A and B are shown apart, each in its own frame.
Chain A
């Protein structure tokens, strides 16, 4: 028994409704494609920044020039892409499409805080990170820097610094590991101020203790070999 398929009748409100749904889904897909295009461009420039910053693990000369190049990329290309992304997101809901760009935002927070640590040795706050990107922190203002994305970026920073600590010892820099260990202790203490529930951020935070442990291990290895903690932290130089 073959069911006769009734022809589409646009005066039928159900058919008209489903026609509208199909159009809406198509518009949604087009917007997601545009967002993916912008985030793809941001991923390229972020990968460039990460590649430049990876040179710090070799401790060769030229870090100042590398950091200036990173600043240039952040001030020009990354800001341009963020402006494009904000223009796409502002008319619609930020969190409806948040999954399409959250990872690149987290990575950007990581590279900005990492570059800032290399220059100044302190933690960059979310407000200052948002200033560098020229975006807001208040969710009511539309396109903004979500607090969880910033915290994810910090956890990536901790993972990178524990690597940095080991590579510093390889090239004979015995001062930097103490500074990194202090920084990671402080970061762990600050994260304990948060009341993280059992979600992705909590799972990612649970890995922070291994980064702290690695930094502690490096400090321990230095100490038993007679390389003492420097009395004056101002002697720190990358």
Chain B
């Protein structure tokens, strides 16, 4: 407390602000945003413009980042709902009912793609997308999980990376030259999303076995074994902790599915 008072009196007694004016410095008043007026320091307009430009550049990036985060949350919410809808195929007895459910899911996928993902691609146009990849890769993981789950239910095959890349290409019809839009998909994001489908397949397998239908569970086991072999083929060349965690979870899901009708 005494130090602060002494500093204040020191500032008062020597009136440093006036001293600066006598030296013929730039006397423009830059009070905007400067809360240290107690010291009456000034800096040149050029220097202030430099920092105002930095502020604008950083604000522009942050605002875009936040807009993409909002779109990502919407993508995640909708993809989770699609997955819940796909799980309802267990309770549908007729093949017509299943087809109806899958058709509805396909329509919702198209809505996610054409409304949300296209908007994200517009935001990222002409930019280095890896700066923003952390704002949307978690949404793409969920999207890939939902797509892979849907493809398993329709054809029993693994969703390929090239298929997701194709889904992330857009044509901007609003412009005359039909500008191409796209989203960068890091390989690791695709692999993480494909890991996640193991949990959904485990849930589906257990539900089907509970309904007395073990044929689907056998298909799920074969699908997951194929995936697990492929992931083991990649080995430890990806070192992130999240990868290790998901790999363990995937293995646990595979063991649960096998025990669900063999145990």
Contact = CB atoms under 8 A, between A and B. Distances in A.
B212 interface: no
Contacts of B162: 17
Nearest to B35: A192
Contacts of B58: 147-148, 194-196
Contact of B48 (A188, A193, A231): A193
Nearest to A8: B233
Contacts of B41: 182, 185-186, 189
B176 interface: no
Interface residues of A, number: 56
Interface stretch (A24-32, A44-52, A156-164): A24-32
Contacts of A196: 58
A190 B57 contact: no
B191 A190 contact: no
A3 interface: yes
At the interface, is chain B mostly helix, strand, loop or mixed? helix
Chain B's interface size range is: 35 or more
A93 interface: yes
A210 interface: no
Contact of B43 (A93, A98, A186, A197): A186
B151 interface: no
A151 B55 CA distance: 11
A10 interface: no
B23 A233 contact: yes
B36 interface: yes
B18 to A, nearest CB: 12
13 contacts: A8-B233, A14-B226, A20-B161, A21-B161, A21-B191, A22-B237, A29-B237, A123-B47, A190-B43, A192-B34, A193-B48, A196-B58, A229-B19
Nearest 4 CB-CB pairs, A to B? A96-B130, A95-B131, A95-B130, A93-B130
Interface of B: 3, 6-7, 10, 14, 16, 19, 23, 32-36, 39, 41-43, 46-48, 50-52, 54-55, 57-59, 62, 126-131, 133, 158, 160-162, 184, 187, 191, 225-227, 229-231, 233-234, 237-238
Given A21-B234, A22-B233, A25-B234, 19 more contacts: A20-B161, A22-B237, A25-B237, A25-B238, A94-B130, A95-B130, A96-B130, A126-B50, A139-B131, A147-B58, A190-B43, A192-B36, A193-B52, A195-B55, A197-B62, A220-B7, A229-B16, A229-B19, A232-B23
